[in-house]
Chain A
Amino acid sequence: MKPARIIISLIYGALFAVFFSGAVHEYNALLQFVPKSQFMPALLKSIGGITIASFAAVFITVLAALFFGRVYCSYVCPLGIFQDFFIFLRYKFNPKNKFKYSKGYFGFHLVILAAAVLTYAAGVVSVMAVLEPYSAASRSAASFLSRSAVSAGVFWYSVFFVLFMAAAAFFKGRLFCNTLCPAGAVLALIAKKSVYKIKIDGDKCTHCNRCEAACKAVCIDHKNLKVDFERCVGCFNCISACKDDAIGYEKVSVKKKDNTKRKTIKKLAVFTAAAAGLTLFTKEIFAFKSAIPVKKSVPVLPPGAGSVHHYNSHCTACHACVTACPQKVIGANMAEFGVLKLMQPVMNYSVSYCLYGCNECTKVCPTGALEPVSIKEKKSVQLGRVHLIKENCISWSDGKPCTVCTEHCPTKAVYTVLHNNVAAPEIIPDICIGCGACEYVCPAVPHKAIFVDGLKKQVKAGDPVKAHRPGEWKLTPVKNEKKSSGGDFPF
């Protein structure tokens, strides 16, 4: 069991690192599998609207937990592999200081889960963003591995988080998984009633303590032959540690199983329904109060975000989009949306701009915060609207023909007019898609002359082909046209 687990999790870890290194420009199905196979993002996505991928990820994880317990935590969770590495170091460097059974804090763990669920339902994802293991791991990986537009705040937070997790794993094993992780809490509730469980055979057990010492979840009490299976992360180290064949993976007795399984499913259904209901209910109320920031401007969100409200209530700041972006325009500050929306990625037009024919970010989002958008659709999604400050513009105020903004505009929402016989930019916000190219290339200093302000709701931009551009600069038509070659050439 152990080599298989290590091989699977290492392969998974390698794919994870490749994905978040940002080295690959277009993700294939194998790499897209990395974020989309994650339990919590898929569960959150399913609440908003089930897709095949999210349903499959949730279904397989729950089914596995119903039968075998929290194997997800040892095989799939990137933070699991990460912790295991430091636990391995502990075994290596401090072999005498063995893990000991401790009682666990299941009640506290449920409180954490409730807090994450309630805040999420209220449209605040930051508790989930900080504790949800996939997002925390991927965000850290993105901060260290990819050359993405991550702010110093997010970077140093990631440094802190990784050091904290390493230390916690080294000294306390899988404590995070069993007291703080919301995904772990959900799986623990299911594992409590799973079909197969780790059991100690009292007749064979010689109380050698090897299983307890090997258990990084500290859930085996060899004295009382007790295993708290809801805390077991399914690593099966205890089974290989036992020299007496006294510990094993057994089917729980049939009669008991029927009863409890039904109860579990019932409970789960009630729990899910309650969470979903609460989400819908509170979202409506909070939309009024919290979704409208009292700012002059709204951050520009990546394509597929739909609205600030939708985005805020789905994005767990995993930074899959940040690493997927070939333009490195999607970046994250510590608290651009306020402290309740920690580290959520937004479009950073001082770093780059959104490429017209690109939809990579919308392909990778595992929580549904960014919905899939085809390239054709994306070309007319309005992420924001352009604003021109003529006082800041070198063409309008300084009489120099710059208009580099008009060159980059893919819809010619920014176009050239003549002002005192000098080429100058003019704008049609209706057909602007908010890509930010004009803002990025504007050479005006220290303040840009042209910029894109975000929208609370992304809408469809007007048709650039049909648009009328008043006063557009037209070239002087050719005069003295000479048809010296049978009319083939104008010279």
Chain B
Amino acid sequence: MNRREFIKKSIQAAAAAGAYTMLPASKLFGAAAEGKTPPHLVAVKNSTPAKMYAAALAAMGGISQFVRRGQTVVVKPNIGWDVTPELGGNTNPQLVEAVVKSCVDAGAKKVYVFDHTCDNWKKTYKTSGIEDAAKKAGALVVSAASESDYVNVKVPGGKTLKETKVHKLAVESDVFINVPVLKNHGSSGLTIAMKNLMGIVWNRWSWHATGLHQCIADFAAYRKPDLNIVDCYRVMKANGPRGVSKEDVVLMKTLIMSKDMVAADAASAKIAGADPEGIEYIKIADAKGIGTMNLDSINIRRITL
């Protein structure tokens, strides 16, 4: 119902503006209305996760660019491992809290937070601090540990991955916000935005057996997140994705925001000190046209707080 209303309103607004095409809502309001194009990518440095998020969001034109009153939102952090926030194995809970809060403030009907965890989900949700933080901000923290919550989807243009099982909330929600953490990864090199989407997939282990990089890039074409917010506050530089000790983690106090997953991954890779060219799935996704890894070609807004 709400979606229908939203579409109706969008059409009305579009008609009123004299453009009888289905323009994305974001181009009708906010920054665009002021005659300023929002940047393709925002990079923020030197503050707390929440403050850097607020600054990046402001540069993008505010939360209303992404979330509207009455919509359902999925906020998908990385909650892979049963480790504390200091180890950088999961998305920073303060960032998750800030993202959820902004969605709630924007009038979202429901904000869901979940991840298909690697370790025991109950323990991982708790130890990561994300469950408490997200609940505090008003999110519904739900399990993704049961196969019955997943539905079969087709992957458009998939070379290796043609179909897979995706969590139904990620399929059904109006808005999908991807909140990965940047870290070292023993299989894929780095895990950032595209890799984080494995957490909405059920049978993701088969990706390992059939070709991990190709599957990650293939799946990126399934549904591009409405917004990607990469947590580069504490960056695990070695022994990822789980991490062994605090010695693997470097405090980088950085945040990357973009609607383009490939650009977000390329910029984040450089933050981690790695050449994006060396990460196969970024190259494949770029070639597939999911986004661009050429950071020189895009409008980047750099903010140092």
Contact = CB atoms under 8 A, between A and B. Distances in A.
A22 to B, nearest CB: 13
Contact of A400 (B210, B254, B273): B210
Interface string B199-233: 00000011011111100000000000000000000
A423 B186 contact: yes
A385 to B, nearest CB: 18
Interface of B: 43, 45-46, 82-83, 118-120, 122-123, 127, 184-187, 189-190, 205-206, 208-213, 239, 241-242, 244-245, 247, 254, 266-267, 269-275, 277-279, 295-296, 300, 302, 304
A475 B82 contact: no
16 contacts: A25-B122, A401-B212, A402-B187, A402-B208, A407-B118, A407-B185, A407-B187, A412-B239, A443-B205, A475-B272, A477-B273, A488-B45, A488-B304, A489-B270, A489-B302, A491-B300
Contacts of A486: 304
Given A355-B123, A401-B213, A410-B244, A481 B270 contact: yes
A404 interface: yes
B209 A485 contact: no
B239 to A, nearest CB: 5
Contacts of B270: 478, 481, 489-491
Interface in A371-418: 394, 400-404, 406-412, 415-416
A355 B119 contact: yes
Contacts of A411: 244
A326 B127 CA distance: 14
B186 A485 contact: no
B202 to A, nearest CB: 14
- Kindly list the 7 A-B residue pairs having the minimum CB-CB distance in the complex, ordered from nearest: A476-B278, A406-B186, A485-B302, A475-B274, A490-B270, A402-B208, A403-B187
B245 A465 contact: yes
Contacts of B274: 475-478
A479 interface: yes
A326 B277 contact: no
A490 B271 contact: yes
Contacts of B245: 464-465
A420 to B, nearest CB: 15
Nearest to B210: A400
A400 B209 contact: yes
Contacts of A25: 122-123
Interface in A61-105: none
A484 interface: yes
A326 B274 CA distance: 38
B243 to A, nearest CB: 9
B122 A326 contact: yes
Contacts of A482: 296
A109 B272 CA distance: 72
A397 to B, nearest CB: 12
Given A402-B187, A476-B277, A491-B267, A408 B304 contact: no
Nearest to A328: B120
Nearest to A413: B244
Contacts of A33: none
B123 A326 contact: yes
A489 B212 contact: no
A409 B304 contact: no
Contact of B187 (A406, A478, A488): A406
From A358, A402, A491, residue with most partner B Cβ within 10 Å: A491
Nearest to A486: B304
A271 to B, nearest CB: 45
A485 B41 CA distance: 14
Nearest to B277: A476
Contact of B43 (A443, A464, A478, A489): A489
Contacts of A406: 186-187
B244 A465 contact: yes
Nearest to B300: A491
Nearest to B268: A491
Given A355-B123, A465-B244, A465-B247, A443 B206 contact: yes
Given A400-B211, A491-B270, A327 B120 contact: yes
Contact of A443 (B209, B275, B295): B209
Nearest to A490: B270
B187 A404 contact: yes
A416 B270 CA distance: 21
B208 A475 contact: no
B82 A402 contact: no
A441 interface: yes
B240 to A, nearest CB: 8
Given A402-B208, A489-B45, A478 B273 contact: yes
B222 to A, nearest CB: 21
A475 B186 contact: no
A423 B187 contact: yes
Contacts of B247: 465
Nearest to B302: A485
Given A401-B187, A488-B45, A489-B45, A326 B120 contact: yes
A78 B234 CA distance: 51
Nearest to B304: A488
Interface in A436-476: 441, 443, 464-465, 473, 475-476
A409 B244 CA distance: 9
A356 interface: yes
Given A356-B119, A416-B187, A473-B186, 7 more contacts: A355-B120, A401-B208, A408-B242, A475-B279, A477-B274, A488-B45, A488-B304
A327 B267 CA distance: 37
A146 B5 CA distance: 47
A488 B302 contact: yes
A404 B206 CA distance: 10
A403 to B, nearest CB: 4
B86 to A, nearest CB: 13
Nearest to B189: A475
B122 to A, nearest CB: 6
A357 interface: yes
Contacts of A326: 120, 122-123
